[in-house]
């Protein structure tokens, strides 16, 4: 699966901004067929950061949401600024 096929778009909510600033996490809506390894590889290729953990859930709308915690040397705030969500 190609990285652009895995990640659909980043989430921009009040809660996601709080997670970016306080927990060094990014939140994305991803392809339902993508597994955690696919998501981690896509984040690494697209945004040049490494994921420490990836957690996923299926929303009520049927979308798959991924919570990506970045490793200590990387900043979620910097990635969010590049994406234009902060």
Quote the pLDDT of residue 19: 94
- Would you tell me how many other CB atoms lie within 10 Å of the CB of residue 72? 8
Quote the pLDDT of residue 84: 87
User: Residue 20 in contact with residue 67, Cβ under 8 Å?
Assistant: no
Quote the pLDDT of residue 1: 83
How far apart are alpha carbons 43 and 66 in whole angstroms?
11
pLDDT at 83 over 90: no
> What are the residue ranges spanned by the domains of the chain?
3-83
pTM above 0.85, yes or no: yes
Report the top-level CATH class of 3-83.
alpha beta
Taking residues 51-65, report their average pLDDT.
96
How far apart are alpha carbons 86 and 64 in whole angstroms?
22
1-45, pLDDT tens digit by residue?
898 999 999 999 999 999 999 999 999 999 999 999 999 999 999
The side-by-side arrangement of strands in the sheet containing 51-58 is: 7-10, 25-30, 64-70, 51-58
Alpha helices in 9-84 (DSSP H): 14-23, 36-47, 76-83
- Would you tell me how many other CB atoms lie within 10 Å of the CB of residue 3? 16
């Amino acid at each position: 699966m190609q990285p652009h096929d895995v990640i659909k778009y980043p989430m921009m909510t009040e809660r996601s901004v709080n997670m970016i600033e306080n927990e060094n996490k990014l939140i994305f809506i991803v392809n339902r067929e993508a597994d955690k390894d696919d998501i981690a590889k896509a984040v690494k290729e697209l945004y040049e950061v490494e994921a420490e953990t990836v957690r996923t859930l299926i929303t009520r709308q049927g979308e798959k949401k991924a919570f990506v915690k970045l490793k200590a040397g990387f900043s979620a705030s910097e990635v969010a600024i590049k994406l234009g969500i902060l």
